[in-house]
Amino acid sequence: MENIMLNHVGTQTLETERLILRRYVCSDASDMYCNWVTDPAVSKFWGWKPHENIEETQSLLIEWIEEYKNTETYHWVIVLKNNSQAIGYIYLNAFDDADNCEVHFALSQKYWNQGIMSEACKGVLTFSFSVLGVESVHTRHHIDNPASGRVMLKCGRRYIKTKYKKVSDCEQISGDFCFYEISKNDKHFIN
């Protein structure tokens, strides 16, 4: 496959029916702390411990905001339109020479099973293919987290394989992972 230069534009604001996906701002710390970074059910498959204080969240947020200086950073906070509350995040990373990348996400437990993450993923996939020029997007989930797999399938991703993955910086989440992908020309892509 011919390598076409990606059109890196940095994190842009995206809008879906119920959501705004935008860059983080310092005032998001309170919503992050209340909605997901303190919840062990959310952090369980991410390799970070639940935050113990708001200062820890503020410190992380400052790091993430600083990363926006790089136009190859794609890290959105997921905000509900109806109440402007930050309820999770979604980001792209691991861009390679074949114009592929990975998508990762986390959502406040309060909003699970409402189609919110599928909606956010579809918005990011559309942006990835139409604006960045990404050829395919890969993702994976721990086998004990099947809800993430359902999100992936709802967005048109194809299951590829299950294999053991050692997570070098977080031994507690090493294990079997299910891998998925979707390409911009995939007839299963739901836009």
pLDDT of 1 higher than 80: no
- Return d(Cα 35, Cα 82) in angstroms, integer: 16
Whole-model pTM? 0.87
pLDDT digits (tens, 9 = 90+) for 17-53: 999 999 999 999 999 999 999 998 888 777 778 999 9
The answer to whether residue 2 scores a pLDDT higher than 50 is no
**Three-class SS of residue 184?**
coil
8 within domain boundaries: no
Instruction: Please check whether residue 118 lies inside any domain of the structure.
Output: yes
Residue 145 located in a structural domain: no
Q: Is residue 187 in a domain?
A: no
Residue 110 is part of which domain span? 14-135
Q: Is residue 130 part of a domain?
A: yes
27 found inside a domain: yes
Percent of the chain with pLDDT over 90: 54
End-to-end CA, the chain: 24
Q: Is residue 29 part of a domain?
A: yes
Count the domains in the chain: 1
Note the pLDDT of residue 189.
Answer: 57
3-state secondary structure of 42: helix
Task: Give pLDDT tens digits for 111-133.
Answer: 999 999 999 999 999 999 999 99
Residue 164 in domain: no
